[in-house]
Amino acid sequence: MQANDPRTERSDFRKLGRLTRNALRSLVTVGDGVTLEESLAAFLLYLRAERNASPRTVTEYGRDIAGLAEFARERDSPAWLDVRAVDVHLLRAWLGRLSRRHVASSIARKVAAVRTWMRFLRRRGMHATCPADELATPKVRRGLPTLLTVDAAKEVVEAPSLDTAVGVRDRAVLEFLYGSGLRVSELCALDLDAIDFASASARVVGKGQKERIVPLGSKCRHALARWLGVRPTMVHPARQTQDPRALFLTTRGARLYVRAVGKLVHAQGAAGAGRADLHPHALRHTCATHMLEGGADLRAIQELLGHASLSTTQRYAHVSMDHLMRVYDESFPLARSLLSPPGEAVSRSASPSARLRSTAGERSARRGELAAPPRAPQPGTSREAVPCSAPFGAPLGATGDTELVEAPLADAPGGASPDDTGGT
Catalytic residues: 183, 207, 281, 284, 307, 316
Determine the Cα–Cα distance for residues 198 and 301; give it in Å rounded to an integer: 23
Distance of CA 419 to the CA centre of its chain: 71
Alpha helices in 99-164 (DSSP H): 104-123, 150-157
Tell me phi and psi for residue 117, to 5 degrees. -65, -45
Determine the Cα–Cα distance for residues 113 and 90; give it in Å rounded to an integer: 15
User: What is the DSSP secondary structure assignment for residue 142, as one 8-state letter?
Assistant: -
Give the total residue count for the chain.
424
Interstrand relation of 211-215 and 381-388 (parallel, antiparallel or unpaired): unpaired
CB 14 within 8 A of CB 59: no
Count Cβ atoms within 10 A of the Cβ of residue 73 and give its class: 0-12 exposed, 13-18 middle, 19 or more buried.
Answer: middle
AA letter at 123: R
Determine the Cα–Cα distance for residues 90 and 98; give it in Å rounded to an integer: 13
User: What is the DSSP secondary structure assignment for residue 76, as one 8-state letter?
Assistant: T
